[in-house]
Structure 1
Amino acid sequence: MRTNTGKSFTFTGWHMLAIMVAFFGVIISVNVTMAYLASSSWSGLVVKNTYVASQQFNGKTAAIREMLATGIEGDLSVSASSIRYRLTLPGDQPVVADSVLAHFKRPVGTVQDFELQLTPAGDGLYVAERAIDSGSWIVEIQAVKDGKLVMHEAERITVSGEQQ
């Protein structure tokens, strides 16, 4: 008869400590990674009521698709002291709108948000003069002609340089 003289495995407190450190180490590293990715990739949007905004999303998306099907395009140019916006149809035909409103929003927070009515400068160009703080902005532009929204777009921009 043979007897097993090898030492059998004994689970000790050190083994339990190693398992717990590995388990919580994985959880903490995943949380830190997710927090970093969340804060570095998208800053989010500020809305008054997230439920209402989610209910209106599909309707707004369909309206924007309908607008873009017309071929209308907007070209936004922002400096530290002025805003220029040009509306054109295919073939560089200018679009004459009754009013063009630009809403400047910070990606997070509402303290510095402001609206600005752009004035026509001819040939589909709309301009405004205003000192704009440097940094990231979301510019939402709405153009209305004959009481109908002909263009609605939002663009994320970065303004750099000093104010003049």
Structure 2
Amino acid sequence: MIGHIFRPKTFTGWHMLGVMALFFGTIIGVNVTMATFAGKSWTGLVVQNSYVAGQEFNEKVAEAREQDALGWKGVFSFERGVARYRLLDASGAPIRLEGVSVMFRRPSYEAEDMTLELLRAADGSFAITPQIGDGLWLVDIQAFADSGTSRPFRENHRVEIVKGSVR
């Protein structure tokens, strides 16, 4: 009777088929899951057309040199949830602006990116209270001066927001 209980089981072809199905099913399942996550995350795309971006490079360098020659300095701050911007001339006097546009971008995930138009504050600066979360942000600013310059003053900042203020 005891020999009947401990009798060795035979490993059949059906057992091998089950082992193979579990093995390859696990590999395929993991691959499909990873491919799905990869398809829903950051694409890695920085520009739509790298050839066109390369052709525009020299023009952008010339614009940056013209902007630097003005001697203007932008002052961006983010404190207690308020983004504030002002533009100063070479002597430190404020420059009257028509408007300021700010794009908040995550460095590696475009789903939270937003472009906002700042509003003129009583002190002459431009400000807005955006609803953005903590973490790293790329801030691209375009200030449109009343001085008749044909191009906006452009400026970029990389900031870390912690509890509503720049760290």
In structure 2, what is the Cα distance between the partners aligned to 1:102 and 1:118? 7
- TM-superposed deviation, 1:95: 0.7
Secondary structure at the aligned position of 1:67 is classed as: helix
| 1:105 matched residue in structure 2 | 105
Matches for 1:1-164 after TM superposition, within 5 Å: 46-79=46-79, 81-122=81-122, 124-145=124-145, 146=148, 148-161=150-163
Structure 2 residues without counterparts, runs of 5 or longer:
1-43
Q: Deviations over 1:67-99 (max 9, x none)?
A: 111111101112462101110002221111111
Q: Post-superposition shift, 1:122? A: 4.9
1:102 and 1:45, CA in 2 relative to 1: closer, same or farther beyond 3 A?
farther
Give the Cα–Cα distance (whole angstroms) in 2 for the partners of residues 101 and 84 of structure 1. Answer: 11
Aligned length: 120
How well do the aligned residues superpose, as a CA RMSD in angstroms? 2.2
Q: In structure 1, list runs of 5 or more residues that go unmatched.
A: 1-43
1:124 Cα deviation (Å)?
4.6
Q: Is the 8 A contact 1:95 1:124 kept in 2?
A: no
Kindly report structure 1 stretches of 4+ aligned residues shifted beyond 6 Å.
Answer: none
Note if contact 2:76-2:84 (Cα within 8 Å) is conserved in structure 1.
yes
> How far apart are the structure 2 equivalents of 1:100 and 1:94?
14
The secondary structure found in structure 2 opposite 1:98 is strand
* TM value normalised by structure 2: 0.64
Deviates more, 1:55-64 or 1:144-153: 144-153
TM-score after normalising by structure 1: 0.65
Tell me the distance in 2 between the aligned counterparts of 1:115 and 1:65. Answer: 25
| Percentage of pairs with the same residue | 36
**What's the secondary structure of 1:76's corresponding residue?**
strand
